[in-house]
Amino acid sequence: MNPTLSYFKIFKIFLKTGCIAFGGPASHLVLFHFIFVQKEKYLSAEEYAQLVALCQVIPGPTSSQVGMAIGYHFKGYLGAFYAWLGFSLPSVVLMICIALLGQQYSALIGSQGFHIIQLIVLAVIGWAFWQMLRSLCSRLWQYILVGLSVLFLSFAPVSTGQISLIMISGLIGILLYNPHKNSDSDTYAENPADKTVHRPVFNKKNMECSALWLLMFTVPFLLAPWLHNPESRGLYHLYEAASLVFGGGHVVLPFLYQDFVQSGLIQAQQFDLGYAFAQLMPGPLFSFSAYLGASVPLGSTPLAGALLAVTAIFLPSFFLLFATLPHWQWFMAQHHIQAALMGINAAVCGLLLAMIAEMSRQQIHQISDLFFVLLVMIVLRSKAPVWLILPGSFFIYLWLINFLQT
């Protein structure tokens, strides 16, 4: 471990990062690279690439997990905690405030305003889907699996369809894996972490604890049948969703929408309002859980519910990271794991596409709505900041609707 980085220093670096990390996981990873590799030179480019590669093949929010892995690299378990706390704290505090204020002032937005917010959320998810499709799917069978995933979700039971899809797609990826055909030209083999690893960075004691962390990861799933009250079920759904998410924070939305909106715990408009605000926040998109925990609520008070929700959605990342990081050299050498991930990535794109289709059916009422969604997606492609694009598009379309009605 590096003696030049104290716990406070780790917390301070990630707190500053959490205040300026706009733009989603891809921009977060670039920012981490600039700070830890280029500017401060705490990590070599190879070490950083290895940490990123491992965090991409385990479920959870990639950028948050990379931050935890960096903290763990320098100061072990507590280092990972302080890194996560600093990076998540700004957005969590903001989302709690939005949830509390939203309950008092949401009526001021009106039905027309909520409709525009839902269209903006649809555009954001559509843009996320397009980005993920281009980066995660590189083979014909993956595109076919995307389409089959949408078809599967239209017939599968809501309660088990998404989980079953993830598992089946992982198996399909393994079955289609060809060690002779899948060479260094593979998408996953382009990452330097899939090649030679020069030195381990984790101690023997942490390696011996890996099995315990993996056991702790599975405990909530074993207890699920005995969770009956809405609060405990809600927390379990957050934990379950985070345990199955591959590909970034946007992928958690279909799981949370199913568990919170379709089950009646929260209204669709209130859910979409919080998700729209989450796009404007710096730091991890998983901070949306704080909004859900305070809005439902999932605790005795909105604040307690928010803290419990944030804990539930990030806890799987800690368990999985602590279980796998000591073995990352072996883990990254298992190409069947990478092959399974290729199938899961296609299913993830299918999940988002199915949700886009359902949201479009419910929220696009006229041709101008469709043009607005497409226009927002095009603008999101530009380098303009998201915190400017989304509010700007809201007020412009609201003004246009009112102008046409007068």
pLDDT in tens, 1-12: 444 689 999 999
DSSP 239-263: HHHHHH--SSGGGHHHHHIIIIITT
What pLDDT is stored for residue 103 in this prediction?
A: 67
What pLDDT is stored for residue 377 in this prediction?
A: 93
Residue ranges in 106-139 assigned as alpha helix (H): 110-136
**DSSP code of 203?**
-
| Cα radius of gyration (the chain) | 21
Residues 118-169 pLDDT 10s: 899 899 889 888 988 888 888 999 999 999 999 998 887 655 777 788 889 9
What pLDDT is stored for residue 183 in this prediction?
A: 46
What pLDDT is stored for residue 107 in this prediction?
A: 65
What pLDDT is stored for residue 206 in this prediction?
A: 62
What pLDDT is stored for residue 189 in this prediction?
A: 37
Secondary structure (H, E, C), 329-396? HHHHHCHHHHHHHHHHHHHHHHHHHHHHHHHHHHHCCCHHHHHHHHHHHHHHCCCCCHHHHHHHHHHH
What pLDDT is stored for residue 26 in this prediction?
A: 77
What pLDDT is stored for residue 299 in this prediction?
A: 85
Q: Is 239 exposed, middle or buried (0-12, 13-18, 19+ CB in 10 A)?
A: buried
Cα(386)–Cα(22) distance, integer angstroms: 8
Cα(297)–Cα(36) distance, integer angstroms: 38
DSSP 71-109: HHHHHHHHHHHHHHHHHHHHHHHHHHHHHHHHHHHGGGT
Residues 22-76 pLDDT 10s: 877 878 988 999 999 999 899 988 888 888 878 887 888 989 999 999 999 999 9
CA–chain centroid gap for 289, Å, is 11
Give one word for 24, left, alpha or beta, with left for phi > 0 and alpha for psi -120 to 50. Answer: left
Cα(115)–Cα(117) distance, integer angstroms: 5
What pLDDT is stored for residue 158 in this prediction?
A: 59
Residue ranges, the chain, pLDDT below 70: 1-4, 103-107, 157-159, 178-207, 247-248, 329, 331-333
Model-level pTM?
A: 0.82
Q: Is there a contact between 40 and 33 (Cβ–Cβ < 8 Å)?
A: no
What pLDDT is stored for residue 135 in this prediction?
A: 80
